[in-house]
Amino acid sequence: MRNILLLVHDDAGQEARLQVALDLARAFDAHLNCLDVSMVPLMVGDYAALGGQAMLLAEERAAEAANASRLKARLAQEGVRFGWQEAAGDPALCLKEASRLNDIAILNRALDTAFYPNMADLAGAVLSDGLLPVLAVPENARGLKVDGKALIAWDGSREAESALKAALPLLSRASGVTLLHIGEAMIAVPPEQAALYLSRRGIHVEVRHEAADARRLGVQLIAEAAAQCDYLVMGGFGHPRWFENLFGGTTATALSSSPVPVLLARPR
């Protein structure tokens, strides 16, 4: 984790993103690649025809210029290396364009106090293409306990494997790692094999099997995370993203309500 993509935007989740990114940068002597995005909601009808879109973009750029000035001054005092890139337009497209040659993107899960920007959707957009692992943090996060306890959600899928591998730098520093499998006992790659893989890297884990209860799997997983870990590691979008958003799914649940930072990844 030597190259960290940090979304910069003056919204309710920015401070949480910044604090988590700083903790990672210090722990891994990493470089922060700050992507400062001026976002403008799509306007339709008469307002757009009368130049409303251009007016909103001008206002947004002015606000982001002030935000950038404040944040650059703060980062200069934090003792971390950082670079700055500006973009404007659809934030999902901007993030995808900036994802190359980065190791992880620091975003939010859904914000608790604001509907815009739709952070769960942004994280899902980056994640769904397998472009980059995403660390989606709650709005109230005060940082990331790099040496804390990790919970790995394991279902034997390629998505879970991708997340486990993406999290290796963090897992190697964790004070405790639990591999949790919820549901049917028979899966393609049992958690014991994943535990063996980690042990060969010097990461020793506890394996837990839990029966599925009456709750949806995502809800059950989030409850486990709230009770026992500092961050969650899981595969993203085992089902198509539209399906999970429409009918609910483990990834959609995590991106809407995880109480702890959640590292998600999927194969390209």
- Domain boundary among the residues 117, 137, 157 is at 137
pLDDT at 241: 59
Question: Residue 144 domain-assigned?
Answer: no
Give the pLDDT confidence of 42-62 residue by residue, as tens digits: 554 444 444 555 667 778 788
Say if residue 129 is in the same domain as residue 173.
no
Cα distance between residue 129 and residue 117, in whole Å = 20
* Domain coverage including residue 118: 3-137
- Domain boundary among the residues 96, 112, 137 is at 137
Give the pLDDT confidence of 115-169 residue by residue, as tens digits: 888 998 899 889 888 889 999 999 999 999 999 999 999 999 999 999 999 999 9
Cα distance between residue 8 and residue 107, in whole Å = 9
Say if residue 182 is in the same domain as residue 117.
no
pLDDT at 108: 97
Instruction: Report, as an integer, the average pLDDT of 14-34.
Output: 98
Say if residue 89 is in the same domain as residue 130.
yes
The CA-atom distances, in angstroms, between 159 and each of 45, 70, 83, 99, 234 are 41, 38, 31, 19, 8
Say if residue 117 is in the same domain as residue 243.
no
* Number of domains, the chain: 2
Say if residue 211 is in the same domain as residue 255.
yes
CATH of the domain at 110: 3.40.50.620
Cα distance between residue 228 and residue 230, in whole Å = 7
pTM over 0.85: yes
Question: How many residues are recorded in the chain?
Answer: 268
Say if residue 115 is in the same domain as residue 168.
no
Helix axis angle, 52-76 to 14-28, nearest 10°: 40
153's enclosing H/E stretch is strand 149-153
* 235 touches 209 (CB < 8 A): no
Say if residue 78 is in the same domain as residue 160.
no
Say if residue 7 is in the same domain as residue 128.
yes
Say if residue 173 is in the same domain as residue 129.
no
Angle 230-235-240 from CA coordinates, rounded to 5°: 135
